[in-house]
Amino acid sequence: MYRFLGFVLLLWLGMAGSPAADDFDRQRQRLTADIAALAHETAAETGRREFAAPVMTAMSRVPRHRFVPEEQVPHAYENRPLPIGHGQTISQPYIVALMTDLIDPRPGQTALEIGTGSGYQAAVLAELVGRVYSIEIVEPLAWQAAERLKALGYANVETRAGDGYRGWEEAAPFDAIVVTAAASHVPPPLIRQLKPGGRMVIPVGAHFMAQYLLLVEKKADGAITTRQILPVSFVPLTGGGR
């Protein structure tokens, strides 16, 4: 009896001490299923019942537990934002999937992200497009994310520390731009850096007021259209330009 209990205790300690990689895999598959269910539930608002298969594959591949601080690892596969230090957060996985799906990513495209944070959204984009550029204003977060993305083998992501309001002129124009901090307005430099036919997703709204996720499209003739998708809650875009 005691020997059996000892065995169970050892087994439990072993699992608690270093959760097996396939346990994270299982949690991630469950999270991906939750995201698919939520996509269905929010179809009336978002206009999409399902996210594209490659987007869901990317969500099921990127190891979110490698993008959060150690104390958050047990929560890495919960469908909610988590603190990553410096008062910032890694976004809710469903929102990451939605934003990624909205820009309609294709192999070979070039994408820009404003607000690298943990690097998670950049990794999801890197699974889907040819090249990702990502800017983070909090320097230690920028460095950490760069190191993490390199360690995980995301060689097609280039990061830099700085104010993303002005975009990344040298790498422009972009097929897609994903802004992951809430702005009071759509930054004109980002509109300029979008290719004709390109798409941008950006949360817009004054601080402490309702924010809306917007889908901004630049048509082939350069005309801009904007569609409100969902109410959201993002940390604010900081820096000079806002």
Query: Dihedral sign, CA of 81, 61, 183, 113?
Result: positive
Other beta carbons within 10 Å of 234: 21
Smallest distance, ligand SAH to C-beta of residue 202, A: 12
User: Between residues 36 and 161, which has the closer beta carbon with respect to ligand SAH?
Assistant: 161
**Spatial separation of the C-alpha atoms in residues 6 and 50, rounded to whole Å:** 47
DSSP 77: T
Active-site choice (18, 91, 184, 233): 91
**Spatial separation of the C-alpha atoms in residues 9 and 21, rounded to whole Å:** 20
Binding ligand SAH by CB under 6 A: which of 56, 135, 149, 202?
135
Instruction: Please name which of 242, 181, 192, 240 lies closest in space to residue 216, comparing C-alpha atoms.
Output: 192
Pairing of strands 110-114, 174-179: parallel
User: Between residues 158 and 163, which has the closer beta carbon with respect to ligand SAH?
Assistant: 163
Cβ proximity of 203 and 232 under 8 Å: yes
Q: Does 92 bind ligand SAH (CB under 6 A)?
A: no
Taking CB under 6 A as the binding criterion, the range among 17-25, 46-54, 82-90, 100-108 that sits at the site for ligand SAH is 82-90
Pairing of strands 157-161, 131-136: parallel
Q: Does 31 bind ligand SAH (CB under 6 A)?
A: no
User: Between residues 32 and 89, which has the closer beta carbon with respect to ligand SAH?
Assistant: 89
Smallest distance, ligand SAH to C-beta of residue 46, A: 19
Binding ligand SAH by CB under 6 A: which of 32, 100, 110, 118?
118
**Spatial separation of the C-alpha atoms in residues 145 and 129, rounded to whole Å:** 19
User: Between residues 25 and 163, which has the closer beta carbon with respect to ligand SAH?
Assistant: 163
Q: Locate tokens 């019942």: which residue?
A: 49
Question: Between residue 157 and residue 196, which ones bind ligand SAH under the rule CB under 6 A?
Answer: 163-165, 180-181
CA distances from 153 to 91, 94, 123, 150, 234 (A): 22, 24, 10, 5, 28
Question: Between residue 197 and residue 216, which ones bind ligand SAH under the rule CB under 6 A?
Answer: none
Q: Does 95 bind ligand SAH (CB under 6 A)?
A: no
Smallest distance, ligand SAH to C-beta of residue 141, A: 5
User: Between residues 43 and 211, which has the closer beta carbon with respect to ligand SAH?
Assistant: 211
Based on the residue annotation, tell me whether 91 is a catalytic residue of this protein. Answer: yes
For binding to ligand SAH (CB under 6 A), which residues are involved?
Answer: 88-91, 114-115, 117-118, 120-121, 135-138, 141, 163-165, 180-181, 235, 237-239
Active site residues: 91
